[in-house]
Amino acid sequence: MEKKKQSILTNDAGFYGAMAVCLLVVGIGGYSLLAGGRSAPAKTAVETAPRVTAPAVEPEELPAVETAAPEPLAVPEPEEAPRPIAVTPPVIIPTVELDDTPVAAQAPRLVVQPLEGEVVSAFSVDKLTYNETLADWRIHDGVDIAAGEGTPVLAACAGTVAAVTDDALMGTTVVLRHEDGYQTTYANLRPETRVEVGQAVSAGQVIGAVGTTAAAESAQGPHLHFAVTWDGDVVDPEEFLK
């Protein structure tokens, strides 16, 4: 019996020893695996392949592309605003007060011949006429009416005496101012006149008498030099008397 126990113990000891050896081998192998796992990982095929550098390729110059100018955008025309309708205001007729005062009729302007006689020198401003006294050619701005010395000279129209002078060439002269800008001149009168400056005269009133005081027309004998102006412009006396 004792031998049998010893045999079992001996066998058990061998079993456990073999187990211990196995465990040791397993431990060493596991440690080796762990140690191998911590080492540098193996390089891949891409990393181990030789690196090839491609040659640098210069970029080709591209041809210039002509760009067309953009067409202007069509702007729509603004719609015409409606025209305002013209409204005609009502016509207001003012009230007019009638004047019942009677209007006195005015007599037309009376024009008379300043002297009855023959015209010895006519009106001429468009062409020269010969002056016998001065022996030259000149214009004549009036009419010369012949009459005996001392024959009364009449105012051709109503007006106011503007001047009474003794002219060196035309002798004693009376100037009358009339309406509408007219003015009449009576020259070659006798020195004694019947009017003075500022006096109002009527048509046909005696203002003087025919004389021989005009030195520039003495060769023509006694006569009246009669002239007319309108706003300063010379007028044909025959037209004024008509």
Tokens 């009502």, residue located = 90
d(CA 190, CA 171) in angstroms, rounded, equals: 8
Helix, coil or strand: residue 10: helix
What pLDDT, on a 0 to 100 scale, did the predictor assign at position 132?
87
| pLDDT tens digit sequence for 59-70 | 566 556 566 666
Which pTM does this prediction carry? Answer: 0.56
Residues 29, 123 share a domain: no
Cβ–Cβ under 8 Å, residues 139 and 213: no
d(CA 161, CA 158) in angstroms, rounded, equals: 10
Token digits of residue 78: 């603004």
Query: Taking 80 as the threshold, does the pLDDT of residue 230 lie above it?
Result: yes
Query: Taking 70 as the threshold, does the pLDDT of residue 40 lie above it?
Result: no
* CATH classification of the domain holding 132: 2.70.70.10
Query: Taking 90 as the threshold, does the pLDDT of residue 173 lie above it?
Result: yes
Q: What's the domain count of the chain?
A: 2
Is the residue at 143 inside a domain? yes
Is the residue at 76 inside a domain? no
Is the residue at 198 inside a domain? yes
Cβ–Cβ under 8 Å, residues 118 and 193: no
Q: Given pLDDT bands bounded at 50, 70 and 90, which one contains residue 105?
A: very low
Residues 134, 29 share a domain: no
DSSP class of 197: T
Q: Given pLDDT bands bounded at 50, 70 and 90, which one contains residue 113?
A: very high
Q: Given pLDDT bands bounded at 50, 70 and 90, which one contains residue 221?
A: very high
Mean pLDDT on 31-58: 52
Higher per-residue confidence, 99 vs 165? 165
Is the residue at 212 inside a domain? yes
What pLDDT, on a 0 to 100 scale, did the predictor assign at position 232?
92
What pLDDT, on a 0 to 100 scale, did the predictor assign at position 187?
97
What pLDDT, on a 0 to 100 scale, did the predictor assign at position 217?
92
Is the residue at 102 inside a domain? no
Query: Taking 70 as the threshold, does the pLDDT of residue 86 lie above it?
Result: no
Containing 237, the helix (H) or strand (E) segment is helix 237-241
Helix, coil or strand: residue 118: strand
Residues 224, 128 share a domain: yes
Containing 207, the helix (H) or strand (E) segment is strand 206-209
Is the residue at 13 inside a domain? yes
| Residue numbers of the domain that contains 128 | 118-241
Cβ–Cβ under 8 Å, residues 141 and 228: no
What pLDDT, on a 0 to 100 scale, did the predictor assign at position 131?
87
Q: Given pLDDT bands bounded at 50, 70 and 90, which one contains residue 231?
A: very high
* Average per-residue pLDDT for the chain: 78
d(CA 190, CA 109) in angstroms, rounded, equals: 28
- Of the listed ranges 82-86, 156-160, 221-225, 226-230, the one predicted with least confidence: 82-86
Q: Given pLDDT bands bounded at 50, 70 and 90, which one contains residue 13?
A: low
Q: Given pLDDT bands bounded at 50, 70 and 90, which one contains residue 162?
A: very high
- Of the listed ranges 10-14, 64-68, 82-86, 185-189, the one predicted with least confidence: 10-14
